[in-house]
Amino acid sequence: MAKKCVRAIFPGSFDPITNGHLDVIDRGMKIFDELIIAIGRSPVKNQLFTPEERVEMIAELIRERQMTGISVESFDGLTVEYAAKKKADVILRGLRSLTDVQYEFQLAMTNRAVAGIETVFIMTSEQYGFTSSTLIREVASLSGPPKAGRIPAGVAGLSNLIPNSIYERLKQHLKK
């Protein structure tokens, strides 16, 4: 009997990608044969990086870490439509806290009802349970630009929450 190849999509804004996201990706690849990191274009979220920049940064991380079976793309529209287009078997979602569970449960039930696609949840590791791209964007924007060549303390504190290459891009972005 031939083994079925299981393709998953991991949708999100990833603006920016965090160490928590990478934790879910690493652990998801132990379950799935293929994983598409699907960067959604959201007209309602304030963007730090463009979707194209996020695709580039995440693809670079995947290459640096020599992770196989992973691709990175951006998409417009509904996640379930994108999943169908990519012939994905499942949607991968990361959970950080009980607050996430309620929202994600409702979303997963809706996706299954309207498109027949299942969702697999992976709890992020404890050290990333409080991290979110939204909080990182807020800290970065509220910390202000570098002064006299010094990175604001709030931004410097982000170095433990996001990959080094993303941290460096964030610092460059704030200088603009």
The two tokens of residue 113 are 């009802």
Domain, as residue range, for 74: 7-128
How would residue 159 be classed by pLDDT, with cut points 50, 70 and 90?
confident
Residue 160 lies in a domain: no
Q: Is residue 89 part of a domain?
A: yes
Residue 105 lies inside a defined structural domain of this protein? yes
Q: Catalogue the active-site residues.
A: 21, 45, 96, 133
Give me the pLDDT at residue 140, please: 76
Let me know if residue 161 belongs to a domain.
no
- Do residues 115 and 147 lie in contact, with contact meaning Cβ atoms separated by under 8 Å? no
CA–CA separation, 88 vs 66, rounded Å? 23
Number of domains composing the chain? 1
CATH label of the domain that carries residue 95: 3.40.50.620
For 121-158, the pLDDT digits (tens) are: 999 999 888 888 988 888 877 765 555 555 555 666 78
Task: Note whether residue 65 is domain-resident.
Answer: yes
Contact status, residue 118 vs residue 90, Cβ threshold 8 Å: yes
- Counting every residue written for the chain, the total comes to 176
Query: Is 21 inside a domain boundary?
Result: yes
Q: Is residue 150 part of a domain?
A: no
